[in-house]
Amino acid sequence: MIPISYYLLLSAILFSIGVFGTMIKRNMVTIFMCIELMLNAVNLSFVAFARYHSLIDGQVFVFFVMAVAAAEAAVGLGIIVALFRNRQTLNVDEADLMKW
Amino acid sequence: MLMDNLQSLRYFYPELTLIVAMLVVVIVDISFNRLRNVLNPLLTIAALLIAAYFTAYVNHGQEANLFLGMLALDSFAQFFKLFLLLAALLVVLGSLHSEELLQVHQGEFFALLLAVTLGMLLMANSINLAILYLSLELVSLTSYIMVGYLKGDRLSNEASLKYILFGAISTGSMLYGFSLIYGMTGSLNLYTIRDAFLSQGVQGFDQFTILLALVLTLAGFGFKTAAVPFHFWCPDVYAGAPTPVTAFLSVAPKAAGFAILVRFLFSGMTQTSGSEWGLVNGINWPLVLIGISVLTMTLGNIAALTQNNLKRMLAYSSIAHAGYILMGSVVLTGEGLKSMLIYMFVYLFMNLGAFLVVTIIYNSDRSFEIGDYHGMFKRAPFLTFAMGVFMLSLTGIPPFAGFLGKLYVFLAVIEKGLFWFAVVGTLNAAVAAFYYMRVIKAMVLEEGNGKTAPLHVSFLNQALLVALLIPNLILVVFWNPIERWTASSVKLFSGL
């Protein structure tokens, strides 16, 4: 059996990749993919802990997270489409009408 | 008393009312082409009133553990529910004559508003991390849409994008914090989490993990309340969103954020009996909260000084007010909690009032710039008077309601012996006076910009202005019922 620390390490690595991705990537769609990566890291950690504690509620939580992530992606893509129609760009740096 | 799903439904009427109303609004919107613009607002208002009735009278004074430990019914939740329903009601009334929203299809607006309100009610009484997350996301996702409601408007789009990016990242961080807490304690219920922390002692856990989990969790709550390290979205979102939506966001989700923050800290992390704050040893909680609070109010006030767009200025001012509200949480007693509730209650009237004036002036002048407010006194004396009252109230000048909020918060802090903290708060209020006065000066003293035609204020908006002015003017005299109400509302659900 693989010890839980392996799962947690993988989850932490995935989460960090996601966080750094949201900071350094400039394409809106890529940023959303990085956010999904963060959420999946959370899911992995929840499932690992649920298995470790032999409990079911952590696994149920993962379903909620997945469903909400799907809704979030739908709303996010809708916003991106609306923005793209008005500006013809996917670069977040160009969304700079408002500063300070 | 732990209740199963069927038993709980009896106490779930306010939320059920909102769910039904939301669906009915959608159906009415697609089936009655002619009547929908009349029916939808009426339905929304009726639903909010019925939900408030159920909350105030039917569920009054009850304490129960609903849906097998998912939601807590207590007087704390009752206060927040009434507060949030009132905020939603005032925003619905204020949005009816807003030119910004009239251009677009309105049916969804009311359905979305009911959905956000539902999410916030659930936030106010969730005691389980799962339902806490779900309700928080219900509020967030719907408010992203509401912010981007003006589809062709570039500012609205941009605001919505910034909101969803910040929101998704902070809730992602919060979830990672939740997963660590779940891993340490093996539970998602706040009370079981507390018991696990208490029974094993904090020494039983890795200090770094606890610190990491709580900091990540605070990121999510900080995002909702727009506290300082997580405030960057706030000015842009407030400036880009339609004004009624901005008014709503600046009051209601912020208050709901404070509700979950308080619930998380008071029931999840501390013993309910008293001021047992050494629970998580690695962190000096009062110091962390003082730090966030001081940073929040100082940054908000200083950034507001240089703003020329009134919506942005009010955005920074709302960040500063979040700092004042946080002052109450530092004390971590019933008194501190009471001062937070009083502050939020008066903040509702003054902030919604200020945004209503902004909406009305935009209707005829199409501008949010303070420079375009010059000479408003001659064109709309009553509006200027109202704005003056709201601004002075936001500053915290004595005869107005804002003073009451600041008084209680500062008192709570001073009673704890944190004199310097109260001094910082007072200095901040002095800084804030400068930019609030600037608006009054622009409206009253400056020469007009050529426009002389009297500003049209619809009857509904005038009535609403009066309704918002009255609490600002009389609450200082009638502080006693408010104090009794809030004092009875600080009782949090005590556990299973």
pLDDT tens-digit map of B12-30: 999 999 999 999 999 998 8
| B448 vs B201: which has the higher pLDDT | B448
Backbone dihedral angles phi then psi of residue B71, each to the nearest 5 degrees? -125, 145
* pLDDT of the residue at A89: 86
Residue B330 lies in a domain: yes
- State what percent of residues in chain B have pLDDT above 70: 94
Q: Which of A28, A92, A98 sits opposite B240 (nearest CB)?
A: A98
Q: How far is A91 from chain B (nearest CA, A)?
A: 11
Residue A75 lies in a domain: yes
Cβ contact, residue pair A68, B134, below 8 Å: yes
Task: Report residue B354 CA to chain centroid gap.
Answer: 15
C-alpha distances out from residue A90 to A24, B27, B161, B164, B352, Å: 14, 35, 11, 15, 35
Q: Is the pLDDT of residue B272 over 60?
A: no
Neighbours of A66 (CB within 10 A): 14
Domain that holds residue A41: 4-92
Residue A100 lies in a domain: no
Neighbours of A2 (CB within 10 A): 7
Which chain B residues are within 8 Å of A80, Cβ to Cβ?
Answer: 161
Please choose, from the candidates B66, B51, B63, the residue with its C-alpha nearest in 3D space to the C-alpha of residue B4: B66
Q: Which of B158, B182, B303 sits opposite A95 (nearest CB)?
A: B158
Q: Does A52 touch chain B (CB under 8 A)?
A: yes
Please choose, from the candidates B297, B291, B296, the residue with its C-alpha nearest in 3D space to the C-alpha of residue B427: B297
Express each pLDDT in B310-368 by its tens digit.
999 999 999 999 999 998 888 777 888 899 999 999 999 999 999 999 999 998 888 89
Residue A29 lies in a domain: yes
Q: Which of B137, B161, B172 sits opposite A83 (nearest CB)?
A: B161
- State what percent of residues in chain B have pLDDT above 90: 53
Mutation target vs A (from B144, B175, B180, B312; most A CBs, 10 A cutoff): B175
Residue B346 lies in a domain: yes
Residue A71 lies in a domain: yes
Which chain B residues are within 8 Å of A95, Cβ to Cβ?
Answer: 157-158, 161-162
Please state which of the ranges B71-80, B363-372, B444-453 shows the lowest mean pLDDT.
B444-453
Burial B209-231 (b: 16+ CB within 10 A, else e): ebeebbebbbbbbbbbbbbbebb
Express each pLDDT in B170-190 by its tens digit.
999 999 999 999 998 888 988
Residue A78 lies in a domain: yes
Residue B442 lies in a domain: yes
Residue with tokens 């939320």: B15
Q: Is the pLDDT of residue B274 over 50?
A: no
* pLDDT of the residue at B271: 59
Cα separation of B260 and B224, whole Å? 10
Q: For residue B201, what are its two tokens?
A: 């002692």
CATH number at residue A17: 1.10.287.3510
Q: Looking at the 3D structure of chain A, how many domains does it have?
A: 1
Express each pLDDT in B27-68 by its tens digit.
998 888 888 888 889 999 999 999 999 998 887 777 888 888
User: Which residues lie closer than 8 Å to B280 by C-beta, 6 or more apart?
Assistant: B197, B202, B210, B214, B269
Express each pLDDT in A74-88 by its tens digit.
999 999 999 999 888
Q: Is B2 helix (H, G, I), strand (E, B) or coil?
A: strand
Residue B461 lies in a domain: yes
Express each pLDDT in A25-67 by its tens digit.
999 999 999 999 999 999 999 999 999 999 999 999 999 999 9
Residue B29 lies in a domain: no
Please choose, from the candidates B239, B238, B236, B218, the residue with its C-alpha nearest in 3D space to the C-alpha of residue B228: B218
Mean confidence (pLDDT) of chain B: 88
Residue B345 lies in a domain: yes
* pLDDT of the residue at B495: 60
Enclosing H/E stretch for B208: helix B207-225
Residue B58 lies in a domain: no
Domain that holds residue B370: 284-496
Residue A97 lies in a domain: no
* pLDDT of the residue at A100: 62
Q: What mean pLDDT do residues B453-464 have?
A: 88
Enclosing H/E stretch for B87: helix B75-95
Q: Is B150 helix (H, G, I), strand (E, B) or coil?
A: coil
pTM of the entire predicted model:
0.94
Q: What mean pLDDT do residues B357-382 have?
A: 89
User: Which residues lie closer than 8 Å to A94 by C-beta, 6 or more apart?
Assistant: A87
Instruction: With beta carbons less than 8 A apart as the criterion, state whether B179 and A46 touch.
Output: yes
* pLDDT of the residue at B386: 94
Q: Looking at the 3D structure of chain B, how many domains does it have?
A: 1
* pLDDT of the residue at B280: 55
Q: Which residues partner with A91 through β-bridges?
A: A27
Q: How confident is the model at residue B276 (pLDDT cuts 50, 70, 90)?
A: very low
Nearest chain B alpha carbon to A96: B158
Residue with tokens 């006065």: B437
Q: Is the pLDDT of residue A19 over 80?
A: yes
Mutation target vs B (from A22, A56, A75; most B CBs, 10 A cutoff): A75
Instruction: With beta carbons less than 8 A apart as the criterion, state whether B413 and B422 touch.
Output: yes
Q: Is the pLDDT of residue B165 over 70?
A: yes
Express each pLDDT in B79-117 by its tens digit.
999 999 999 999 999 988 888 877 776 778 999 999 999
Express each pLDDT in B113-156 by its tens digit.
999 999 999 999 899 999 999 999 999 999 999 999 888 888 99
C-alpha distances out from residue B311 to A79, B129, B234, B335, B362, Å: 22, 34, 11, 33, 11
Residue A57 lies in a domain: yes
Please choose, from the candidates B295, B213, B224, the residue with its C-alpha nearest in 3D space to the C-alpha of residue B261: B224
Q: How confident is the model at residue B273 (pLDDT cuts 50, 70, 90)?
A: very low
Residue B310 lies in a domain: yes
Q: Is the pLDDT of residue A73 over 90?
A: yes
Backbone dihedral angles phi then psi of residue B457, each to the nearest 5 degrees? -120, 120
* pLDDT of the residue at B46: 96
Cα separation of B319 and B303, whole Å? 10
* pLDDT of the residue at B282: 54
| B272 vs B402: which has the higher pLDDT | B402
Q: Name the DSSP class of B309.
A: B
**ipTM, interface predicted TM-score of the complex:** 0.96
Instruction: With beta carbons less than 8 A apart as the criterion, state whether B327 and B409 touch.
Output: yes
Residue A98 lies in a domain: no
Q: Is the pLDDT of residue A97 over 90?
A: no
Q: Which residues partner with B309 through β-bridges?
A: B369
